[in-house]
């Protein structure tokens, strides 16, 4: 069964669907994304919603690709997070 999650990122509302058994992981992904977006905004180095989201996506991807030996332990979890994150990016960019 699918669950719909309401989320607000950078002042924009999104409805994201996920399997019920993945809701907790999606919530963690959303929380982490919001944290990265906040970091980017506080740095003042990136201006604009689209650029902020792209920078957050690149930062998260960089972290994922450079996690070293632990990569195999969390690969499936991160693949799901990246899939959800890519869907969120696509939805954000479609609204512009």
Q: How far apart are CA 3 and CA 59, in angstroms?
A: 28
Closest CA to 92 of 3, 5, 16, 4: 16
Sequence-ordered alpha helix ranges (H) in the chain:
23-43, 49-65, 71-94
The CATH topology of domain 2-94 is: Double Stranded RNA Binding Domain (3.30.160)
Share of the chain above pLDDT 90, in %: 12
Residues 15, 6 contacting (CB under 8 angstroms) = yes
Quick: pLDDT tens for 47-74: 888 888 888 998 888 888 777 655 555 6
pLDDT of residue 6: 92
HSE-CB for 67 with a 13 A CA cutoff: 13
Domain ranges of the chain: 2-94
HSE-CB for 96 with a 13 A CA cutoff: 9
Residues 49, 92 contacting (CB under 8 angstroms) = yes
């Amino acid at each position: 069964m699918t669950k719909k999650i309401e989320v607000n990122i950078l002042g924009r509302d999104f409805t994201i669907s996920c399997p019920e058994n993945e809701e907790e992981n999606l919530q963690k992904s959303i929380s982490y994304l919001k944290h990265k977006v906040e970091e980017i905004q506080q740095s003042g180095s990136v201006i604009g919603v689209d650029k902020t989201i792209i920078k957050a996506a690149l930062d998260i991807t960089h972290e994922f690709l450079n996690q070293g030996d632990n990569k195999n332990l969390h690969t499936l979890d991160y693949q799901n997070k990246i899939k959800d994150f890519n869907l969120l990016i696509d939805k954000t960019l479609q609204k512009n």
